[in-house]
Structure 1
Amino acid sequence: GEQACLENEICLLPGVCRCPPGFYGAQCKTRCPSEFWAPDCRRVCPCFPHGRCHPVTGECTCSVNRWGPLCQNSCKCARHGHCHPVHGNCTCAEGWSSSTCSKLCQCSIGGSVDASCDQLTGRCQCHRGFWGIKCSAKCNCDQSPCNQRTGVCECVEGWWGTSCERKCICDLTHSSCDPVTGQCLCHPG
């Protein structure tokens, strides 16, 4: 009859019972070993021993430091990186950079916004008034900011010169001042 299968079994046909996916044994209470999946643990897990299979779908979940559809690849991340299980790219912990997360950022304490840097380039984010890959160089631009990559001064309106140290002699209402030459540039009209 309908009750021919035990409590934990699935009835396929009259008199044909099977354990649910992920289980096997006389009462279907024993979990499948890591290297098997499917009803009654009949299918071999292709990602074993570097991962385990979902008991129903067979989809691989990789072990730590393994990646790929069958967990066949070793991660190249150093100890300050976390490996993506699908494409193997490393995500670095704060303060570390490079494709393997093996380089310390070493951002300048006073010049940088925080201890983290761009994961690929190692470039730190500088406070206004600082520049360079580690933000360790001070801008020499009077009261104007400088380019964070090159250190070249970016003069505020009304100032010019390599260090923005020269005041423009233009009528700034009707013209602007060239930041390199100091020449007055009249507005149209």
Structure 2
Amino acid sequence: MAGGRSQSTAFLVMVAVASVICLSNVAADSSSVPDVNLVYDMTQFPGNTEALCVTGDMTLDLTATIIPDRYNEPKVVKESPNKIKFTRDLEARHLGQALMCTANNKGILVPLMTSDAKFIPRRLTVTVSQEQDLRLDLKTKSTQEFFWWMREPVKKTGPWTSARVVDDKLRIEHSLLQGSGLYSIAYKQEPIVYKELGFLAVTIRECREHQYGRACEEWCPDCMYGGECDAVTGECVCPPGLKGHRCQIKCNENKIGKSCNIDIDGNGKQICLVAPYGCECAPGYNGTKCETACSDGYWGAGCHQTCSHCVEGCTAIAGLCKKDKNADCVGGDLGLPRLRKPPRVTEIKHDRVTVTFDPWKAGYDDGELPSGSSLNYVVAYWVR
């Protein structure tokens, strides 16, 4: 989509059109993003913590780190090369801590906090692209509108930066963010009550949204069902419960991992993946503690996907159609050819618009063109 301005605002949508196909048999590309999954038990969060770092790739050797590592808690037990368990039985006495699980120099960072924390993020780790504001749902124990935040490590002398929480939603402008890392949230500047701090792990993606590459000049592929595009390689990092080079393949119920070979009971669990995805409630659940089942008509991680691809609804965890299995083809027309790079609007006037675009190219642009089909382009233009 691209737009321009004259006396009003114009919007343009262009798609390549062909027969509806199914992508469910498309093989996944070779991957540079490791299969690392941190399963975080939210039922006693904040406070007591249990987390499991696991991979379905038997060639990976996971490593675990506590940040900072000068304390003896939480307990870290490496049960096998592909499974590490974190446990914290007591209320944390040390603030500004985080868990990190890594493989192939890529890791997942999640915060720890006490049950006295005034601000609890719904997602423990979030990713924002360059020039993108941080927006996050928060559960707050304070009625005040303003709060204060600082990137760890917290300094007694500050400086703290003020921001607002409106309707339990946090917003920090991109120009104020201080890079990737752990951020502390306080309801007053001084004196700081450390056990009441909330924490949030933030990853600043290297490119603008929907772009990747060394100079951030390449356009991301269409990562389906909420998948995120790696800023370096352009690879799709798929939400839990999905796999494939475009996240087009649904795992069976209660399966996660890049090969759908990790078993999970998702109730009360938040699953964190390597950047740029971050964390989200396990498939089939949402809410602060990830214990609320998806409403009818919704499915997937955090219940963000709709069952519009099915005739009579779908399962909340895997999004499989309850009836008419033939309809369960990644959303029907989602398999159509479509342009990865948006068309360019070079001139807009009251009676015409000039549009330029690169033709659809198999192997680069998204979707597929069935054998024997003709390719046409549809332009939709409207004024607001």
TM over 0.5: no
Which is strand-richer, 1 or 2?
Answer: 2
Q: TM-score, normalised on structure 1?
A: 0.29
Highest relative contact order (Cα 8 Å, sep 6+), 1 or 2? 2
Q: TM-score, normalised on structure 2?
A: 0.15
